[in-house]
Structure 1
């Protein structure tokens, strides 16, 4: 643990670096000059410089030549934080795709974007300790927090600190990036009515089924021509097959959860029905990783890159002292994306996401 003297000197040099006294890329004073300036020994100077190097403020070139880094993580590091773990029941495709986009450097954000996964608030949790370190040192531009009960209760987030953005739902001391689910359902309903007279809606969530039915009926669709199917990934294949083993089979399907797309396609195959030819299929997705595109499925959904960039913009506005109104990210069809699709395949994400 650094001594108080090391912490004090490191804090002073850090303030000077961030304030611009030492320009990015410039050389720091020599060891001897720092020893004389602060009246300390060489080992103390070494520990001070090690502390600043760990924060990403310094780099070493050659023998004892210490330079200020060109970019400071305090200004351009954005940290995405979730309490969920890959493979858990709560590890959704939205989380899996966001995490993969960050890991592959496809966010579209200028600067560093890193991910803390499985943050649970325990003192022995490495990710939580790292989050506390970011907060304590101020060594990030801001935090992109995926709302959950665990994130809401994390001790380190109970007081204002680094600029924060909550994704999905409000959190204390954080600006908000929300997803326009109402707009998604409205636009999807309009598209479905262009494509079919008998519409099936599939979702594991009763509230979303009710919202879709209400919207379709609001557009004038007769209730007898809307079939709501409460389906989970397990059993969806058989339910899909049964839907087409009847006279009043649907001619358009709205899949409101992308976890249902693979079993739905398997069910269509068993029923000898082709998406895009025999039945119109519109599925919710998380861009840029739509499932089933090659099999004839059309998609509407939220671009996780757009969500991250909206959060980054709010963090930057907060740091600049500008107004930070909540952002509502719209649902988009393929032709409306502001960034091109990635070359990653459906299987890349499906292999990482076991649970709905």
Structure 2
């Protein structure tokens, strides 16, 4: 769940919509009364959000007339770095909440610093459909034709040829002289590193913290639930959990990682039969939510019969039937760090490749059983 103040959440969402082209330059925004109804907040909160947009130069407030999208910066050149355009390749933008948040922040930062921001072939978000590798390569070619200054790239996952595809896309941009900043994960398997800047969260630490939290609650038999062909970020989380168990003198089960569909009852039954585990760590909140549904259908109660934790802290994590213990990803900090990394790369292409891993935060809720018994010391 986004823990930011409500006015910041609203201003970010409106910023994303403006930059995406939903509200064109010179057009009028919905009235404050309409925004109050849409977001379910007070008028002062809406006014606060609009003031933030006005301070950024995104909107103009005209007394007696309304609020309008500013036209002054449309097509404005970036004085600091020569009127540059920035591109973005994010395969699952509309299916992954953290990427929506990160990319919305990046778009806002680009606008504030007078950079053009290209979501796709046009300066607007990609469609709702999942992007294919071919579509990503076509988009890469368009970015090269348009001579964009740099590209933010979230590598593909959950497909057999993901590493080869990721390297092909990144190499094509590099050969064209276009800097690439990777978001969230690297091109290949953990712990290998590619020659590109990488900005993300410290997944090893996140996996360690989650496992240690469960261990301190007195749980000894842990396992990880993943989807097949997952990303290197997940491998880092699993590695962190393994080290946490070993550090606390626990034996890591031979079958520690279970890859499959958490919505498949047969798969979930194979993990839970015989009560062989005390807790299951999931690679994302989405997987944890599907697992909770399957466990409920199998008649298992969380956290009484089994503990479950996720990763990401998406909006619905606190709204599930059993609120989810998870690791919060600092999306805004990731976006700010990635944006400055690209600006540094543009200013000095000779800089060595950098990896910046930001610290995730443990969010404790009911699914881990922390409120059933006092922690073990």
User: Does the alignment pair 1:146 with 2:161?
Assistant: no
Q: Which moved more, 1:169-178 or 1:212-221?
A: 169-178
Deviations 1:16-61 (A, max 9, x none): xxxxxxxxxxxxxxxxxxxxxxxxxxxxxxxxxxxxxxxxxxxxxx
Q: TM-score, normalised by structure 1?
A: 0.55
CA–CA distance in structure 1, aligned partners of residues 137 and 255 of structure 2: 49
- Secondary structure of the residue that 1:197 maps to in structure 2? coil
> Which residue of 2 is the match for residue 267 of structure 1?
294
Question: Gaps (5+ residues) in structure 1?
Answer: 1-66, 85-90, 337-356
> Shift of the alpha carbon at 1:124?
10
Distance 1:78 1:289, change over 3 A: farther
> Shift of the alpha carbon at 1:249?
5.0
> Which residue of 1 is the match for residue 186 of structure 2?
169
> Shift of the alpha carbon at 1:129?
4.6
> Shift of the alpha carbon at 1:115?
2.3
> Shift of the alpha carbon at 1:159?
2.6
> Which residue of 2 is the match for residue 328 of structure 1?
356
> Which residue of 2 is the match for residue 159 of structure 1?
175
- Secondary structure of the residue that 1:200 maps to in structure 2? strand
- After TM superposition, the structure 1 = structure 2 runs for residues 1-356 of structure 1, keeping only pairs within 5 Å, are 71-72=76-77, 75=83, 77-82=85-90, 84=91, 91=92, 96-97=96-97, 100-101=100-101, 105-107=104-106, 109-112=108-111, 113-116=117-120, 118=131, 125=138, 127-135=139-147, 138=148, 140=149, 142-147=150-155, 149-154=164-169, 156-159=172-175, 161-167=177-183, 168-169=185-186, 174-195=196-217, 196-204=219-227, 208=235, 211=239, 214-223=242-251, 228-233=256-261, 236-241=264-269, 243-246=271-274, 248-285=275-312, 287-289=313-315, 291=317, 294=320, 295-300=322-327, 302-321=329-348, 326-333=354-361
CA–CA distance in structure 2, aligned partners of residues 123 and 183 of structure 1: 31
Distance 1:124 1:233, change over 3 A: closer
Distance 1:252 1:205, change over 3 A: same
Q: Is the 8 A contact 1:107 1:309 kept in 2?
A: yes
Q: TM-score, normalised by structure 2?
A: 0.52
CA–CA distance in structure 2, aligned partners of residues 280 and 187 of structure 1: 15
Q: Is the 8 A contact 1:204 1:257 kept in 2?
A: no
CA–CA distance in structure 2, aligned partners of residues 123 and 269 of structure 1: 38
Q: Is the 8 A contact 2:109 2:339 kept in 1?
A: no
Distance 1:75 1:332, change over 3 A: farther
CA–CA distance in structure 1, aligned partners of residues 343 and 242 of structure 2: 39
- Secondary structure of the residue that 1:211 maps to in structure 2? helix
CA–CA distance in structure 2, aligned partners of residues 325 and 221 of structure 1: 37
Aligned residue pair count? 255
